[in-house]
Amino acid sequence: MKFHRINALLIRHLYLYRRSLPRVMDIFYWPVMELLVWGFLSVWLQNTDFVGEFNMVSVLLGALIFWNFLTQSQKSVSVAFLEDVWERNLLNVFVTPLKPSEFLTSTAILGAVRILLVAIVMGALAALLYSFDVFQFGILIIPFVINLLIFGWTIGVLIIGILLRYGTQAQILAFGLIVLFQPLSAVFYPVSALPSFLQSIALALPSAHVFEGMRAVLQGDFPFTTLGYAFLTNAIYLVFALWFFYMMFSRAKKRGLLLKLE
Amino acid sequence: MRQIIEVKNLRKEFPAKGKDAIAVDGISFGIERGSITGLLGPNGAGKTTTIQMMLDIITPTSGEIRIFGKNMRKNREEILGKVNFSSPYVSMPYNLTVWENLATFARLYGVSDLRGKISGLARQFEIEDLLPKKTSALSTGQMTRLSMVKSLLNDPKLLLLDEPTSSLDPDIADKTRKLLKKIQKERGITILYTSHNMAEIEELCDRIIFLQKGRIVDDGTPKQIIEKYGRKDLNEVFLHIARS
Ligand SMILES: Nc1ncnc2c1ncn2[C@@H]1O[C@H](COP(=O)(O)OP(=O)(O)OP(=O)(O)O)[C@@H](O)[C@H]1O
Ligand SMILES: [Mg+2]
């Protein structure tokens, strides 16, 4: 063993870390987000008297399945675009008469199909392994699921806009941005378990309203106002994301970036 | 309408730090139906930028592009349905088979006889046996032929080719040229293409447009241009213009 050779490799890693966002995120971002989610959940479980009111299997597993709806919907949009970029196929696609709106619609449908498959697979496994009752939510849950689909799609479209602006150096967002929403969306615990300044951010997110609604449905309520807030906030973000996407698409065409994205 | 393409005062400045970079500096030309026109010029002359503006991939700074007598930007969908493009710098999803890729594009163009169209073109370009293969398994030259087949799927009336033969071996390049000539004769397709291969341009083109620093410096038949500069061939003319 020669130390100078080991050292050479270590220094090479250092060069890479300095420049590579994914590597830095491995150290700071993912672990911190996980810590926040599990931290808020643990503290809530410790302090709450409500636990008895909930069937914990339903709350946690249901939340986990729902959370996957959101990420699936977002990824189907962002990754569909990224794949065309990675494969240098974007130009071929956009010299056909295809409109950007048609491109986005196809990804939305793909997202919906993926959600359905995720629901079936996770629901069946959870039922089999943990006696999770898939049908306990009833059809009342469907409008909430639709909100998750829309919000995931909205974030996905927003990310495409950012990719058009900053190129593939921002591609980590396609996988990482959604994680930022996890602690804030009160997935596994109520919004009230968050510190108050985070509560106001949470209430601005459709996803937080969906998860609040999901817990209410489990308790036998049908929270119309929560659903209303989910649709309302979703509508605002959706319009913004589409506007941003079209701005960035047109900017990319002005700068000749559709050719250069790689 | 004899002019398939009409370009007027077309200009493209790319926003850049400091001074904007002028890629295309106010060019005007018309292209006749059924002709093969070579767009040539040194690296960075503005050839790719010009072609991409015709495809609405790059937005011009000013000027107008009319294709089939219609304004490109206002009739994008209709025009792009009858135009196609091929270049080695674009690729296709590697994990799909060649057939799956072609079928996707055929569907995007709304081709009615999908199977017949694909197998007919694949035969012409000698990639029939590649159809079931993964696209990632293709060599560069095979990829170029696949891209050529893609570009003919919608029976385009106008074909824009950016260095279509640059990665082909002399044999396949020759075949591709002959095929292009044949297809152009049979179907009356109008072809605008760029190449750095001067012999190829001499062989194929009815007309050449010589670009330099975003401007048209010459325009005519290969013969006219060679005679005008009193040179032996187009290669020498190119060197003369590029170095002057
Ligand atoms: N997206 C872009 N942003 C900024 N400048 C660009 C962009 N695309 C091209 N340019 C510049 O515009 C000029 C023309 O480029 P273009 O690609 O059209 O040249 P070309 O004639 O196709 O050259 P080549 O023979 O090398 O393919 C060059 O100076 C190039 O640097
Ligand atoms: Mg070029």
The answer on B99 and B58 residing in a single domain is: no
pLDDT at A94: 95
Q: What is the pLDDT of residues B181-232, one digit of tens each?
A: 888 888 889 999 999 999 899 989 999 999 999 999 999 999 999 999 999 8
Q: Give the mean pLDDT of A63-82.
A: 93
Total-model pTM: 0.92
The answer on B160 and B219 residing in a single domain is: yes
pLDDT > 70: percent of chain A: 98
Q: Which of B10, B47, B163, B212 has the most ligand 1 atoms within 8 A of CB, as the residue to mutate?
A: B47
Question: Does the pLDDT value for residue B175 go beyond 70?
Answer: yes
Q: Which residue has the higher pLDDT, B115 or A21?
A: B115
The answer to whether the CB of B229 falls within 8 A of the CB of B237 is: yes
Q: In this structure, which residue's CA is closest to atom 4 in ligand 1?
A: B14
Question: Does the pLDDT value for residue B9 go beyond 70?
Answer: yes
Model confidence at B15, pLDDT cuts 50, 70, 90, reads: confident
| Interstrand relation of B62-67 and B3-14 (parallel, antiparallel or unpaired) | antiparallel
Model confidence at A51, pLDDT cuts 50, 70, 90, reads: low
The answer on B238 and B160 residing in a single domain is: yes
**Number of domain units in chain A:** 1
Q: Is the ipTM, as predicted for this complex, more than 0.85?
A: yes
Encoded tokens for A37? 């989610």
Q: Which of B43, B53, B193 has the most ligand 1 atoms within 8 A of CB, as the residue to mutate?
A: B43
The answer on B145 and B176 residing in a single domain is: no
Q: Give the mean pLDDT of A178-191.
A: 93
Question: Does the pLDDT value for residue B44 go beyond 70?
Answer: yes
* Calpha distance B175→B126 (Å, rounded): 10
A260: chain B residues, CB-CB within 8 Å? none
pLDDT at A50: 63
Q: What is the pLDDT of residues A134-172, one digit of tens each?
A: 778 888 889 999 999 999 999 999 999 999 999 888 888
Q: Domain limits at B177? A: 3-82+156-243
The answer to whether the CB of B189 falls within 8 A of the CB of B183 is: yes
The answer on B179 and B69 residing in a single domain is: yes
| DSSP 8-state secondary structure symbol assigned to residue B221 | -
Q: How far is A235 from chain B (nearest CA, A)?
A: 29
The answer on B208 and B188 residing in a single domain is: yes
